[in-house]
Chains A and B, each alone.
Chain A
Amino acid sequence: MPAISRTPHPRERRIIFKNIDREGWTPDIDCYLKDGGYEELKKALNMQPQEIVSEVKASGLRGRGGAGFPCGAKWGFIRPGETKPIYLICNADESEPGTFKDRYIIHQDPHQLLEGMIISCFAVNARLAYIYIRGEFPLGAKILERAIEEAKGHGFIGKNILGSGFDLEIYVHRGAGAYICGEETGLIESLEGKRPYPRIKPPYFPAALGLYMSPTIVNNVETLCDVKYIVRIGGAEYAKIGRPNNTGTRLLCVSGDVQKPGYFELETGGVTMGELIYDICGGLKPGRKLKAVIPGGSSAKVLRADERYKIKTKRPDGTTVEEEIGIDDIRIDFDSLAAVGSMAGSGGVIVMDDSRDMVWALNNINEFYAHESCGQCTPCREGSLWMQKITARLLDGGGMPGDTDTLKSAADNIAGRTICAFGEACAWPTQSFVGKFRDEFLAYTSKNGNQQG
């Protein structure tokens, strides 16, 4: 796979991506071991599992898959003295449009992921783990399988790992090409051999009733790699990276209308949107102005370039002040992006300049979600295709008065009413695009009539 950015940008802090595009680096275990690989596993096996959980809690690590749920808290849901088997699943179904980070870890540094997984399994007492990798990554699956064999050969996976008495098997399971398999309960259903229909929560929270109705931890590739690093430096040290409640680094995937798109590992909240676009990604194409940014994968709500955001900032003395900021000043971290009404999501930053037609852009997103809706529950199943058909008709010149409002209300009737977060994923683009670029939609609906709705 051709790498987009071979040399790390000076603003980057490469921890997880340390070995990505590294000169002379190969994905085999010898290379990894020469570089000090599996030392954190040895360290972890000499710790109490509960200590590792405590370190992860102290690190403030939040899930890198999209929801940003605190990893330590998730692990803490496993009941002490659990009698059922506990499973750990690495979610390598990286499917959110605009997101292309996990694939580099899988392709170039598979042992980092395995080491993070083995440590995590030891921490939560999982004896069987799966890597659920999207079907579109056939090479990645092969690389992982080879890496697992290598790790087994060195006694890092299998019975009595490094004499610790801890047993673990890891299997690679390939998906069959459905976005919904990235939703953790859909993934679990798929792993069980069924259609990946997400489960209702309650009662099917994975930590209680997950794979085969047993306690199950599902973590993203990047998150599991972070665990290895937390073991190396300790939770407290890790928590110093980034910003409070937004600790560690984040892998950002920048695509769209910038000069130098690519992937970057940055301290969480260490850069603003303006710095990311103009300093790190080389700015927009000549003569172009920024129009919009989708900051966290295609399902995140779009940010309009000329919006002003009122956010509350904590001062060193503990007081909070309300500040009005523009898009360039938004820090790229979980809390800041949530504060401006969007989300950090999966780290996929999609930049759009003023050449972009927002109806076209939304239709592109709608096509994806209409195609990927699993069809289990009514609002998402029917609503996602309806929205796509409306935007397609608008683009086709068939806009009619009322379409804009219908589009928005269809999205409103999906969000918050579905079994899984796909409902929000497919509704948020429409809600935000129509809400923020209403004039562009009205222009399409007025071609055939008046400007109402």
Chain B
Amino acid sequence: MSEPAPLLNVQIDGVWHQFPKGTRVIEACARAGKFVPRYCYHPKLSSPGNCRMCLIEMGMPKMGPDRKPELGSDGKPVINWIPRPQISCAQDIAEGMGVKTDSPLVQECRHGVMEFLLINHPLDCPICDQAGECELQEFSVQYGNGGSRFREEKVKKPKHVVLGPRVTLDDERCILCSRCIRFMKEIAKDDVLGFASRGSHTYLTAHPGRVLDSNYSLNTVDICPVGALTSTDFRFKMRVWFLKETKSICTSCATGCNTIVGSRQNVIYRQTPRENDDVNSAWMCDYGRLNFHFVNSKDRLNEPQIRSGSTLENVNWNTAFGRAVEELKRYQPDEIAVIGSGRMTNEELWLTKKLIDGLKVTHYDIVPRTGEADDLLLNTDRNPNTNGAKLLGVSSDEPGVKLRRIIDGVSSGQIKAVIALHEDLTQAGLSAPSLEQLGALIVVGILPNETTKRATILLPGVSFAEKRGTMINAKGRLQRLNRAIQSPGNAHEDWEILRDLVQQLTGENGVYLIEDVFKQMAENVPQFEGLSISKVGDLGVRLLGVAEAAPA
């Protein structure tokens, strides 16, 4: 660890505080409980100082003839105030600095800037997606004027501009803060956005011949302080104030970006990144963000089903479990394979391992899932919990190695029964005809696919948004999923399905809550020792010794 930064004395609105050297003035003010409004400033981006909303009064210690600060009657430095207001977003604090965040001049500056920002703004809040989470609205309440003195025609600019496949722009709403431009240049490393024209006619646009098609494009929508950049996927779908916000994590790759799932009445409307400097900074990729629509699918599997000839029939859970045990008992352990998923939670994987051990099965693995990585967040490993599968023994150190033997075993007829958990086996190397030869195919899933169609027993599980549990990301961080919405129909949480299967097969009992499952892990797996689901917290904990810094 490097030396902690020395503390500097700063006077904010008459009260002296101490902050580490290197703290931005605007951040110091916020920490002192004196929030300074801002539009262009974003802690993860460079500070252009263009919005002028964060103007404050600033001063430095008055120096005496001996070049030492003059001290006042309170023994503290006397401050020499700079007559011009200063921006607080681009300067670090200095020893003895004075700041006024609420003086008449500062108030006047804020009212002036608010008025300027609104004169050409369309004020179309009733139909604007940003309404309810718009900083223009929020600061208007605090610093705006009751009426408008603007009697002129507003500047006309392009509307509903398709900037890229996922982002739609309304230039009239844009306050030209340049956050999106800086994000694309500094974080996404794709300098695709810029301003054209000048003065009040300036507008945001993609460079000629370019489109905003980066896999990180939707972060610009998140950081847009107004309704200029909107998500083409989300726009006009739901008023944001109706959204229930659930803290969770993205399960589309092993990075495990922290998220907020926005839902209403059991429908997910959007996912947005949640800041976690140990994982994803304040960002997430578009691929992960938009990978939730399947949850809302009309085709979701709602009922347990068992095969009757060529069709699957709805049954109740007890019947399904009974039938599953009956089928499994027909086979020797080496005739059974369990194919788990790196998309399952630790708790589910723990119970899967119990199932494997209870059946004394030796053929088991998870299905590896890879894709091209980028330099920012997207990981090669598209399974969010490979580390969990490895740690809990459902996968070897090399996921997929044993899967190849299972495929061979199924093809040769040596393996006669397969339990498939959240994986379409036809996508994992098994052919549909070979699945049809199986004596038993017990499938847990949420959507119909080529495997579910051939199941002998089909057990409807739930999606990432409908369950609680933990996962271990690529960097070894233990993180938590939270339930955002209820699962459809008679679907059961996967840990419950697995617990019931284990119970039916082994008679083992005593697990009533997901916390109990975690407790079992904590008692048996050294890495989980002393932890509980609640101790994992919103930002997760470092579990395995794989450490890397998060991106900017």
Contacts and interface: CB of A to CB of B under 8 A. Distances in A.
Nearest to B90: A200
B199 A373 contact: yes
A379 B50 CA distance: 9
A370 B51 contact: no
Interface string B150-166: 11110100000000000
A402 B151 CA distance: 11
B108 to A, nearest CB: 8
Nearest to A416: B84
Nearest to A203: B90
A376 B51 CA distance: 8
A390 interface: yes
Contact of A389 (B47, B85, B152): B152
Contacts, number: 102
Interface in B126-155: 149-153, 155
Interface stretch (A112-120, A271-279, A380-388): A380-388
A384 B116 CA distance: 10
A375 B52 CA distance: 12
A159 interface: no
Interface in A331-385: 370-379, 381-385
A375 B116 contact: no
Contacts of B149: 402, 406
Nearest to A180: B198
A95 B112 CA distance: 29
Interface in B199-242: 199-202
Interface in B31-75: 47-53, 55
Interface string A103-121: 0000000000000000000
Interface in B173-191: 175-176
Interface in B90-128: 90-91, 108-109, 112-113, 115-117, 119-120
A69 B151 CA distance: 40
A400 B151 contact: yes
B294 interface: no
B48 A200 contact: yes
A273 to B, nearest CB: 29
B344 interface: no
A393 interface: yes
A413 B52 CA distance: 11
B117 A382 contact: yes
A366 B47 CA distance: 30
A419 interface: yes
A417 B151 contact: no
B199 A417 contact: no
Contacts of A389: 152-153
A375 B199 contact: yes
B198 A417 contact: no
Instruction: Tell which of B119, B149, B155, B198 has the most Cβ of chain A within 10 Å.
Output: B198
B119 A382 contact: yes
B346 to A, nearest CB: 48
B176 A385 contact: no
Contacts of A200: 47-49, 87, 90
A417 B90 contact: no
B152 A379 contact: no
Nearest to A371: B199
Given A195-B195, A413-B115, A416-B84, A376 B50 contact: yes
Contacts of B48: 197, 200, 376
Contact of B113 (A379, A386, A416): A379
Nearest to B152: A389
A230 interface: no
B51 A382 contact: no
Instruction: Tell which of A389, A393, A406, A419 has the most Cβ of chain B within 10 Å.
Output: A389
A412 B111 CA distance: 12
A178 interface: yes
Interface string A405-419: 010000011001111
A381 B202 contact: yes
Contacts of A375: 176, 195, 197-202
Contacts of B155: 385
Contacts of B150: 386
Contacts of B112: 379, 412-413, 417
B367 to A, nearest CB: 49
Contact of A384 (B55, B113, B199): B199
Given A202-B91, A417-B109, A381 B49 contact: no
B199 A374 contact: yes
A385 B157 CA distance: 15
Contacts of B108: 413
B85 A419 contact: no
Contact of B199 (A203, A385, A403): A385
B149 to A, nearest CB: 5
A413 B116 contact: yes
A381 B176 contact: yes
A383 B155 CA distance: 13
A402 B153 CA distance: 17
A370 B199 contact: yes
Interface in A125-181: 178
Instruction: Tell which of A370, A379, A418 has the most Cβ of chain B within 10 Å.
Output: A379
Nearest to B91: A202
Given A178-B198, A382-B116, A384-B200, A377 B50 contact: yes
B109 A381 contact: no
Contacts of B117: 378, 382
A261 B50 CA distance: 40
Contact of B200 (A197, A373, A390, A406): A373
Contacts of A385: 155, 199-200
Contacts of A384: 199-200
A158 to B, nearest CB: 36
Instruction: Tell which of B51, B109, B149, B175 has the most Cβ of chain A within 10 Å.
Output: B149
Given A373-B199, A393-B152, A413-B116, 12 more contacts: A195-B194, A197-B50, A203-B90, A203-B91, A371-B199, A372-B199, A381-B116, A381-B199, A382-B116, A382-B200, A413-B113, A417-B85
16 contacts: A200-B90, A202-B90, A202-B91, A203-B90, A371-B199, A373-B200, A374-B198, A375-B201, A377-B52, A378-B51, A378-B53, A379-B113, A386-B152, A389-B153, A412-B112, A416-B84
Which 4 pairs between the two chains have the least Cβ-Cβ distance? A413-B112, A375-B202, A382-B116, A389-B152
Interface of A: 178, 195, 197, 200, 202-203, 370-379, 381-386, 389-390, 393, 400, 402-403, 406, 412-413, 416-419
